[in-house]
């Protein structure tokens, strides 16, 4: 694992003026922390393609921080992906997060010309060579649609063999799951860095909904403690900070090559974690 940890943030493209204002506020607060890069999500089936592209262009041109757009292949064609890759190259983008992606509601079970993220990684390499640094997804607690843990690990290995440079995990709250996954990946010949994703805890209802959808386990003890706070959001957030801070510290002390923060376009929880971890003070605002 790398001796110089990399820290990064995830944003999502806004769909309303209110959401745009919240993202702008998050940018003003978080980007002066000088992360290694920021990623921008891509909606199911490419549903936010133009919003993602616009958000990426704004970040790349105005903020001076490297940007890594998410790009997914479910429902996409080779022609549409080539067009998008050309657009990102024209913007000077050098990093992508390559994902299979989810089928949007009502699309049925037809994935399009690409079925797996490994197909997407191989396509990007054929089209662009080594222009892009490619991150892929990893699931320490097993992808919710995987047939088995072994099948999920094999799928991850195929993505790396297809040309991935690194991986970002789904968020989790069990550090042992992450370290065991890394050990299993290493035993399978994986040598690229696997960066853990961390989700700050600010809203239990929202966290439970996200976790049910993506297969991230909320340990029973943690769920019951969070339930106890009820409407006491300040108390919940203070407790959540303690939990995620302890998780981050254990990951870094255990040799994790960095942390990717799922910000949900909200600055304060991630900034608080950043400063508590001693990762540095803000530089002059971007």
The set of catalytic residues is 10
Token reading at 200 = 């700050």
Q: How far apart are CA 202 and CA 220, in angstroms?
A: 17
**Runs of H (alpha helix) within 63-134:** 78-91, 117-128
Partners of residue 50 on adjacent β-strands? none
Write out the DSSP string of 9-39.
EEE---SSHHHHHHHHHHHHHHGGG--SEEE
Write out the DSSP string of 183-238.
HHHHHTT--S-EEEEE---S-HHHHHHHHHHHT----HHHHHHHHHTTT-HHHHHH
Among the listed residues 205, 272, 210, the one whose alpha carbon sits nearest the alpha carbon of residue 241? 272
């Amino acid at each position: 694992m790398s001796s110089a940890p990399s820290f990064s943030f995830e944003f999502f493209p806004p769909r309303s003026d209110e959401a745009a204002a919240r993202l702008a506020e998050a940018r003003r607060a978080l980007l002066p922390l000088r992360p290694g890069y920021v990623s921008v999500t891509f909606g199911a089936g490419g549903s936010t393609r133009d919003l993602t592209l616009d958000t990426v262009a704004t970040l790349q041109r105005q903020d001076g921080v490297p940007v890594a757009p998410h790009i997914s292949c479910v429902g996409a064609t080779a022609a549409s992906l080539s067009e998008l890759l050309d657009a990102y190259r024209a913007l000077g983008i050098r990093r992508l997060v390559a994902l299979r992606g989810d089928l949007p509601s009502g699309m049925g079970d037809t994935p399009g010309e690409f079925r797996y993220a490994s197909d997407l990684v191989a396509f990007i390499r054929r089209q662009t060579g080594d222009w892009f640094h490619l991150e892929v997804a990893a699931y320490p607690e097993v992808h919710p649609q995987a047939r088995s843990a072994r099948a999920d690990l094999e799928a991850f290995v195929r993505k790396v063999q297809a040309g991935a440079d690194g991986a970002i995990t789904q968020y989790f709250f069990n550090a042992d799951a992450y370290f065991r996954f890394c050990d299993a990946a290493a035993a399978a010949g994986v040598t690229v860095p696997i960066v853990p994703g961390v989700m700050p805890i600010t809203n239990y209802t929202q966290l439970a909904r996200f976790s049910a959808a993506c297969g991230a386990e909320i340990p029973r003890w943690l769920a019951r403690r969070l339930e106890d706070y009820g409407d006491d959001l300040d108390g919940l957030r203070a407790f959540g900070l303690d939990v995620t801070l302890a998780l981050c510290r254990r990951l870094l002390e255990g040799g994790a090559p960095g942390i990717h923060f799922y910000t949900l376009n909200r600055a304060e929880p991630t900034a608080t974690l950043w400063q508590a971890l001693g990762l540095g003070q803000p530089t002059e605002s971007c």
